[in-house]
Structures are given as C-alpha cells and as structure tokens.
Chains A and B, each alone.
Chain A
Amino acid sequence: MDQLLPRLPFAEWIDHGIDWLVTTFGTLFDGIAELLAGIVEGSVDILDMVPSILLAVLFALLAWVISTRKIALFSLIGLLFIDYLGYWYPMLQMLALVLTSVFFAIAIGIPIGIWSSQKSGVRKIVNPILDLMQTMPAFVYLLPAIFFFNIGVVPGVVASVIFAMPPTIRLTMLGIQQVPKDLIEATEAFGSTTWQRLSKVQIPLAKPTMMAGVNQSIMLSLSMVVIASMVGAPGLGEEVYRSVTQLKTGQGFETGLSIVIVAIILDRITQHAGKNKKGGRLL
C-alpha cells in the first residue's frame, strides 16, 4: 500500500500555509498581539493597585450579591489563603489571562451560537469546526500561536480562547433551540420580527443554558493556564510548570491548590448567575 499511494505532504502544506499567513498578515497579528497583551497586562496592573485584602473582600461581596453567603465566605478565605501562600501576583496574572480569554470566547461565541441556532446551514459548518476545536490536543494550537504572536501571554490567551469557546457556542445554540416550539409559534403569531423573537423570548429563556456554557468556558480556560505557561504565559500556571520541571512536589501542590480555589470561586459564582432569582420558574 505504501508504494501504491504516495504519501501526501499534509504537514508541509500546513506549514506553508502558516508561513504564508504570517508573512501576509504579519502586521495584523502584531496589532492583535499588542491589543491582547495590553488588555491582560492592563488588567493585572489595575487589579494589583488594589490592596490584596480589599480585593478579596470585594470578590466576596460580588459572590454574595450573585450567589450565596457560603460562597462569599469561601471566596474571602480562599483568596486570603492564596495571598498568605505568597501567590497573589501570579494569581492576578492568571485571573487576567482567564478573564480576557473568557471575555473573547463569549464575545465571539454567543453571536456565533445565536446565528447557528437560526440557520441550519451555519450549523452544518460550525458543528464540525467545534468538534475539531474541542478534540484537537491543545498543545497543537500553541505552535501556530507562537508563530503568529511570539511567546508570552498572547499565544496563551489565543489558545485559551479557541479551547474555551466551543461550550459557549454549543450551549447557546442548544439553549435557543430548546425553547418550546409553541412559544416560538406564539411570538410569530403576534407578528414578532426575528430580532424581537430572539431578544424578548428565546435568549432570555436560553439564559440558564447559555450561562452553563459560559461556566464551562471559564473552567476550560482555567485548565489551559498550565499549558499556556509553556509558551511563556505568566501566572499560577507558570508556577506549577516550574515546580514540575524542578520536581518541587510541595510547591506544585500549593500552586495547584491555589488554581483549584480560583476555579471553585469562578465556577460557583457563574453557576448562580444563570439562575433566576426573581422566583419565576424558567423552563
């Protein structure tokens, strides 16, 4: 068989393609890189201006408003514990990276999710791409990301965005499609425009499902931080990576635990954000 079918040079094609992209759109990528780096570093700077205790309290208050007192208490203690361990600044760097990538994952993901919920043609294209994004080993994104954006925080953000976006798109699509058919008929029968149907009925009803998608995106993006640190993204991930390479088990656990604490806080807060507090039962 090997002799009968010549081996097609897929790998080379992809390499050439990426080379071409880099040379052709170099300036564009540089611009994007600068923007992303600016956002991440800017937010780290802003967060770092606030004293750690005050920031921990602010987070706890936010958790209280959105979810429960228990979670607020956990946030306060957890964050102060991270500060106590001495990982406050790396934690801020990680948070900035995660929140930036989630922001872009949502900003791109939700409109795509809404669009593909409306058109089966779009769905047919989007679905396989999502499958690819989710199953392709995350390391593979990192390589081209380095070519496009050099090493540092930016390829980390880009890889996280790509890796974290699928759940937001999928669950947005699902949430909108799950709205019962008779409600859609009702909106149509009263003469709603497509936008009115979406904004007044479908999206509000899909919100809990969409928030579950956002929650998943945050979790996936957190799981990317260690991988992103391999291309030079700073933060807790970098600390974990260093502990692993230097065989410092204790430090590895400390930093790993800090990531877990941040993950639990973000997870619980976003889980509650999806629930309706007004008492009206959703679907």
Chain B
Amino acid sequence: MNEQIIKKKIEVIDATKIFGKNSKKAAQLLKESASKKDILKATGATVGVNNATFDVYEGEIFVIMGLSGSGKSTLVRLLNRLIEPTLGRILLDGEDIVQMSKDQLREVRRKKIGMVFQNFALFPHKTIVENTEYGLEIQGVPKNERLEKAQESLKLVGLAGYEDQYPSQLSGGMQQRVGLARALANDPDILLMDEAFSALDPLIRKDMQNELLQLHHDMGKTIIFITHDLDEALRIGDRIALMKDGEIVQIGTPEEILMSPSNEYVERFVEDVDLSKVLTAGHIMKKADTLLIDRGPRVALRLMKQLGISSIYVVDKSNRLLGAVTAQDALKATESDKSLDKVLITNLPMVSADTVLTELFDVVSTAVVPVAVISEDQKLQGIIIRGALIGALSGDNQFINSDGIINSINQTTTEVI
C-alpha cells in the first residue's frame, strides 16, 4: 500500500460468532477469557470466531488465511451476514451491518458485496449467461441491460462465447470464472472470495491468481480472499490475517508475516515457505557503487581499488545504467588513453526489482559481474551479489530488505569524487 490517504472500507470490531444453543453463556465465558475447549465442555457451544478485529482498506487484497477449522470461512460470512455474528460490530463504509434491517442488508448484498464460492455454487439449471445475470435479475434490472452487463462481465473473465452453455459443460477453472463474472456483474465495491481457487488444480489456480491480480489492478475493487494456502496468500495478498482456532493471530504484509512471525504458531506456519518464490530481487539487492560516464578510466581504477572491487557500474547523470567496466579494461584504457565508453561492457545481466528469486538463479550463476536491478526507465536501483542471494534463501534477515527498500545495514558509501 502506498502512503496515500487510505480509506477504511470495512472495520471489524470484536466480531464473535458462537455456534450452539448456549451462545449467551458461552459469550460470557469468552469474556472471562475461557478457552475454546472449556467453553465447549461447559456449554456445548462452539466458538467459530473469537473477537476478530481488523480493518480492510479500500482497494486492497486482504487475505484471511488459516487451516481448516480456523474459522476463516465463518469470519468472511460474518461480513455479509450469511452467518449472524453473536457479538461485535462490522462497519461497511462506516455503517454497521449488524444493525441493519433485512431490507437494508439485502440492498448491501445486492449493490456492495459480491461473493465467489469454493465450489463455484453455480446454478446448474441456468446457462452461463443466466448465472452471470442472476444478481441483476433479482434486482429487477431490465432484460436487455442485464444481458449486456453479464456479457461484459463474461468477457472480462475471458468467457465470451460460452453464454449459452450449462455449467456442467465447463471445466472447473471455467466454472470459477463464471462465479467471478457473476460476482462482478453487479459491480460491487467488495468481493468476498471464499477459497475461490482451492478446488482448482495447481496450474489453473496460478492462472486464476494472475488474472485476479490483473482484474484487481484494472478495477481496483476491495477483495477479501480466504485461503488455506500460504503460497497463495503470499502471492496475492496486500495484507494477510492469519487465523487459528477462531482468533486472528497476526495481521501484516506478506513480508512482515514471513520475516517477523508474531508467535510460534505463525513461525511454524511459515517455516516451510519456499522463500525463493516469495522474495524478489528488490529484497536482496545492495546499493550499487557507480561511476559517472564522464569520469575517466583513471578515476574508475582508483575507485575500484578503494572499494576493493574488480568491476564497477557506469551510469549517466540521471542514474540510468549504461554498462560496466572491469578493472582490467580500465587499466588497458589508461594505458592506451581511451575514454571509458570505449571499454564499456553493455550486455549486462539485468532484472527488475519484482523478479522472484527462483527466476534469478540462472542469471546470477552465469553472470561475471553482479546482476543489475533496474527500473522500467533503465535507472539502476541496485545490484545482486551471489552471497546475498544464498544468505536470503537461508532466511538470514541481514540479507533481506523489508518492503523491497534497501536498508541501512546493507548500505555502503558510494559518493564518487
């Protein structure tokens, strides 16, 4: 998230759901901080969600993650009151959903919150387009208008041309696209996605994640995504809430969860994460020592000697990367009195800051000079040295920059005279 003025879209305050008859007594026990087990023993009631408090900001993808039985599916259903919360407040744009009348709630469900389900929940007796327009149909939108919107929405998920098929004629991945199209057709501000991709096979799941990110980028909806898959959470989440036994254990950005687990549970949860798929070039790059192009080879040599390195990157005044020069070439240039640009190596290994580590191995292993990390406009952002790559993979925080910003530990002096 950027540091712009961030609007809270949803505020969940002390939301609690207790299943069972003795929910009042159980709530009392819960206030006295009895454990879930003791409450079950004493009252027969099950605590589904225990005092969940969090905010969801406008336009972010907020992932609620936990293993099965952790209460994540219950929690997301509290947000549109498919399950009535026992206690607590849930504010949507500042309005308390829990206090709403049935009619008001229906209006919110129709206009503001769309939902996508784990097993797609498509209506088997309706065609794809009829499924997609369902939300509009029940609002009484005229036939032509809703057909148009449904087709638009199907096009968005890449299913134009399938309008008259039935759900059973489509593959799982396509069915979930219909599920997504159906939710989008209403143009809601918020999308609730309950394990939306969990029933899909891994390759299709990855495609769907990418497409969701693309759609999110294009449409800017607030998405609340439930998953039990940490990799998925890390991939698509702007922020992640980790749940255990109905409680939220930690909320943070993927990096925060990975790098500073708040307790043992989170730590155990994240220990098996393949860091190479999560960390990016931005996380492990070091600030580069650079040389302006209009300096001579002698300056280059002196600088390399000072820093104890065998090659140096050459940039122009606006920090755009031009190439690199090795100590050997610089020495030759001084001997034959050539300028720097004559001995510049220009076919450098270059990557962007959001390249994940798995894609870096190949580049780094074959490169003779450190790999350059550049921005879209060719500006040099940093370099990657092999040691940092290996260090980061071992989970050593010393080699990892939080949020992809180079931190002070890794910084070296750079000013060139």
Specify which chain B residues have a CB less than 8 angstroms from the CB of A248 in the assembled complex. none
Contact (Cβ within 8 A) A189 B138: no
Specify which chain B residues have a CB less than 8 angstroms from the CB of A190 in the assembled complex. 109-110, 114-115, 134-135, 138, 182, 186
Contact (Cβ within 8 A) A186 B121: yes
- 10 smallest beta-carbon distances between A and B, as pairs: A191-B110, A191-B109, A280-B166, A189-B115, A186-B121, A182-B121, A190-B135, A281-B168, A191-B106, A196-B138
Specify which chain B residues have a CB less than 8 angstroms from the CB of A196 in the assembled complex. 138
Known: A205-B124, A282-B125. A186 touches B138 (CB 8 A): no
Is B329 located at the chain interface by the 8 A CB criterion?
no
- Give the complex CA separation of A188 and B134 in angstroms: 11
Specify which chain A residues have a CB less than 8 angstroms from the CB of B105 in the assembled complex. 191
Specify which chain A residues have a CB less than 8 angstroms from the CB of B138 in the assembled complex. 190-193, 196, 200
Contact (Cβ within 8 A) A185 B117: yes
Specify which chain B residues have a CB less than 8 angstroms from the CB of A279 in the assembled complex. 166
Is A11 located at the chain interface by the 8 A CB criterion?
no
- Give the complex CA separation of A13 and B115 in angstroms: 58
- Give the complex CA separation of A28 and B374 in angstroms: 92
B residues 95-148 touching A (CB-CB < 8 Å): 105-110, 113-115, 117-119, 121-127, 134-135, 137-139
- Give the complex CA separation of A204 and B127 in angstroms: 13
Known: A200-B137, A281-B168. A186 touches B107 (CB 8 A): no
Specify which chain A residues have a CB less than 8 angstroms from the CB of B137 in the assembled complex. 200
- Give the complex CA separation of A142 and B106 in angstroms: 50
Is B40 located at the chain interface by the 8 A CB criterion?
no
- Give the complex CA separation of A200 and B126 in angstroms: 9
Specify which chain B residues have a CB less than 8 angstroms from the CB of A281 in the assembled complex. 124, 166, 168
Q: Closest residue of chain B to A279, judged by CB?
A: B166
Is B80 located at the chain interface by the 8 A CB criterion?
yes
Count chain A CB atoms within 10 A of each CB in B82, B107, B124, B166 and give the residue with the most. Answer: B124
Known: A186-B115, A200-B137. A193 touches B106 (CB 8 A): yes
Separation in Å of the B270 CB from the closest CB of chain A? 30
Q: Which residues of B contact A (CB under 8 A)?
A: 77, 80, 82, 105-110, 113-115, 117-119, 121-127, 134-135, 137-139, 166, 168, 182, 186, 192
**Could you write out 26 A-B pairs with CB less than 8 Å apart?**
A180-B121, A185-B77, A186-B121, A186-B122, A189-B114, A189-B115, A190-B109, A190-B110, A190-B135, A190-B138, A190-B182, A190-B186, A191-B108, A191-B135, A191-B138, A191-B139, A193-B106, A193-B138, A200-B123, A200-B137, A200-B138, A201-B123, A279-B166, A280-B126, A280-B166, A283-B124
Q: Closest residue of chain B to A281, judged by CB?
A: B168
Contact (Cβ within 8 A) A204 B125: yes
Q: Which residues of A contact B (CB under 8 A)?
A: 180, 182-183, 185-193, 196, 200-201, 204-205, 276, 279-283
Separation in Å of the A208 CB from the closest CB of chain B? 10
Known: A188-B109, A190-B135. A183 touches B121 (CB 8 A): yes
Contact (Cβ within 8 A) B82 A185: yes
Separation in Å of the B117 CB from the closest CB of chain A? 5
- Give the complex CA separation of A281 and B170 in angstroms: 12
Specify which chain B residues have a CB less than 8 angstroms from the CB of A186 in the assembled complex. 115, 117, 121-123
Specify which chain A residues have a CB less than 8 angstroms from the CB of B119 in the assembled complex. 182
Known: A200-B138, A204-B125. A189 touches B166 (CB 8 A): no
- Give the complex CA separation of A193 and B107 in angstroms: 11
Q: A182-B119, A191-B106 are in contact. List 5 more A-B contacts (CB 8 A).
A: A182-B118, A183-B123, A204-B125, A205-B124, A280-B126
Specify which chain A residues have a CB less than 8 angstroms from the CB of B186 in the assembled complex. 190
Specify which chain B residues have a CB less than 8 angstroms from the CB of A283 in the assembled complex. 124
Specify which chain A residues have a CB less than 8 angstroms from the CB of B182 in the assembled complex. 190
- Give the complex CA separation of A186 and B131 in angstroms: 11
Known: A182-B119, A200-B137. A189 touches B125 (CB 8 A): no
- Give the complex CA separation of A191 and B109 in angstroms: 5
Contact (Cβ within 8 A) A189 B82: yes
Q: Closest residue of chain B to A185, judged by CB?
A: B82
- Give the complex CA separation of A192 and B82 in angstroms: 12
Contact (Cβ within 8 A) A182 B109: no
Specify which chain B residues have a CB less than 8 angstroms from the CB of A183 in the assembled complex. 121, 123
Specify which chain B residues have a CB less than 8 angstroms from the CB of A200 in the assembled complex. 123, 134, 137-138
- Give the complex CA separation of A279 and B169 in angstroms: 10
Contact (Cβ within 8 A) B121 A280: no
| Contact among B82, B107, B125, B139 for A188, CB-based, below 8 A | B82
Specify which chain B residues have a CB less than 8 angstroms from the CB of A191 in the assembled complex. 105-110, 135, 138-139
Count chain A CB atoms within 10 A of each CB in B108, B113, B134, B182 and give the residue with the most. Answer: B134
